[in-house]
Chains A and B, each alone.
Chain A
């Protein structure tokens, strides 16, 4: 599907969602409450068939957090980006690890680095950071570690 066709199809599924202009791939902004159902549709709809989640990450915008999901279809070779705005003080979003299994590890990484709580995640623990790091999220912009961080 071309980007235009993809946009029309996605608007049918998510009439309230907005698209970001520019960029090589279709970028859609989705409400956090709609994400789980929408993710299921992206994976299951025969015409979309987004079966490959190749990047899952988060961006700290100081006022809010944004989850970014990069999706690809191995059948049709089209790509898209989903962005979800989260409340910075209480970031919560449904897990998609049962839809794309690779999300399990990536969500654990985002959990420890940004403090995003993934609801219904099967194994939400620290993955990279050592025990006792809960609550301090290194990739947030206001993280400060006067001992171990060297300012350039």
Chain B
């Protein structure tokens, strides 16, 4: 790291004192930097392969050094929150698969949990185990795609095929049970929509075997690669204080040593009975965030192995009324998606549709730190930072 980078990245006081005009630390505000001599602006996206969707960044540069990154959102904004206000508690879950499409199961899970909390429905043990199994398979699939796509952004094309080979078998498992490969819509208030496919256990075990045979290839191909490490280590430093102040969650925060796994801190379903570790790295750079996700895949495998032979018999869905009506009040649930903390805030007036719904999506907060992280770095490193923040644009825009 050169001197300038160190200066810009040193931890900022999270509290600047009340009443002061914020952000005036480097003689500029976040609002806009006056373009100085030799400064210029470029557009990154919205149609750029490395943004993995339609994210538009306006980057102010001096030479190759980034002075500011300004995200412009809304290219895939569907106003899901507004749509949910006119959908019933059974219908609105299906919309949420389209938010973070790589964590579709976990988004559905958050909605189902929120409705169950409001109605105080007891979920059968079988459904709980199925839900956790599906969540963890989703997490692996999501991290696989992240791994392949991030390596591709950095210029290595082969890992993408390796990642998709394994991800494909997860998608096949999903397809058999849920009928869909991407937007599953499998979880409903009270349990899951229908029972597991008879092949489920067999195919998951086959997948575990395949995965264990192949996982070392990931480290051989990418993790241990010198070029890759040079591009990741020391790049995109994020201190623990900044991660908390910017609301960063999930693997991105755990790369900075912030304990933020909702599964551990505020356990839901059966996560408190399972044995798994919260993966923490303390370096705070891109490589730390990379290692967190790689190790999280191992932890997910651990969870699946504990459960796959112990799926209890019984109902897969609790009996609920045809028309669900949440009592008057506020309900907040938080779950851990592959990207971080997904919060769902429902305000109910007692009717069969929510009065107001707010999705606290992990991507939105994680994106907000990009400007702070990138200032002072070189433009070539921006892709590494975006890659390790694991941005999914429909999750940010909602």
- Which residues does A use to contact B, with CB under 8 Å? 22-25, 27, 36-37, 39-40, 43-44, 51-55, 57, 59-60, 68, 70, 74, 77, 81, 95, 97-102, 104-106, 109, 120, 122-123, 127-130, 138-139, 151-152
- Counting from the closest, the 4 A-B pairs by CB-CB distance are A98-B22, A102-B247, A40-B18, A128-B74
- Confirm or deny: B16 has a beta carbon within 8 angstroms of a beta carbon on chain A: yes
Contacts of B73 in A (CB 8 A): 127-128
Interface string of B356-388 (1 = CB under 8 A from A): 101010001101100010000000000000000
Q: In this complex, which of A24, A52, A68, A95 has the most chain B Cβ atoms within 10 angstroms of its Cβ?
A: A52
B18 close to A102 (CB less than 8 A): no
**Out of B18, B249, B345, B356, which one reaches A60, CB within 8 Å?**
B356
- Confirm or deny: B261 has a beta carbon within 8 angstroms of a beta carbon on chain A: no
Given A55-B332, A128-B73, A39 and B79 contact (CB-CB distance below 8 Å): no
With CB as the reference atom, state the residue of chain A lying closest to B28: A122
- Confirm or deny: B37 has a beta carbon within 8 angstroms of a beta carbon on chain A: no
Q: How far is the CA of A23 from the CA of B19 in the complex (A)?
A: 32
With CB as the reference atom, state the residue of chain B lying closest to A101: B245
- Confirm or deny: B227 has a beta carbon within 8 angstroms of a beta carbon on chain A: no
B74 close to A127 (CB less than 8 A): yes
**Which range contains the number of B residues in contact with the other chain?**
35 or more
Contacts of A98 in B (CB 8 A): 15-18, 20-23
For the residues of A in contact with B, the DSSP-based class is loop
Cβ of A31 to closest chain B Cβ, rounded Å: 16
**Out of B21, B258, B364, B397, which one reaches A105, CB within 8 Å?**
B364
With CB as the reference atom, state the residue of chain A lying closest to B396: A128
Q: In this complex, which of B15, B244, B329, B347 has the most chain A Cβ atoms within 10 angstroms of its Cβ?
A: B244
Q: How far is the CA of A5 from the CA of B247 in the complex (A)?
A: 26
- Which residues does B use to contact A, with CB under 8 Å? 14-23, 29-32, 71-74, 77, 79, 81-82, 86-87, 242, 244-247, 249, 258-260, 265, 329-330, 332, 334, 341, 343, 345, 347, 355-356, 358, 360, 364-365, 367-368, 372, 397
Given A122-B31, A127-B74, A128-B73, A101 and B358 contact (CB-CB distance below 8 Å): no
B345 close to A70 (CB less than 8 A): yes
Given A128-B77, A128-B397, A152-B86, A54 and B360 contact (CB-CB distance below 8 Å): yes
CB pairs A–B below 8 angstroms (23 shown): A23-B329, A24-B332, A27-B330, A36-B18, A43-B15, A54-B249, A54-B334, A57-B358, A59-B355, A68-B330, A98-B17, A99-B15, A102-B246, A102-B368, A105-B367, A109-B364, A120-B21, A122-B22, A123-B29, A127-B71, A127-B74, A128-B73, A139-B82
Q: How far is the CA of A44 from the CA of B81 in the complex (A)?
A: 33
Contacts of B29 in A (CB 8 A): 122-123
**Out of A23, A54, A138, A152, which one reaches B330, CB within 8 Å?**
A23
Cβ of B35 to closest chain A Cβ, rounded Å: 17
A22 close to B258 (CB less than 8 A): no
B356 close to A97 (CB less than 8 A): no
Q: How far is the CA of A25 from the CA of B18 in the complex (A)?
A: 26
B30 close to A123 (CB less than 8 A): yes
Contacts of A81 in B (CB 8 A): 330, 332
Q: How far is the CA of A54 from the CA of B341 in the complex (A)?
A: 9
Q: How far is the CA of A122 from the CA of B87 in the complex (A)?
A: 36
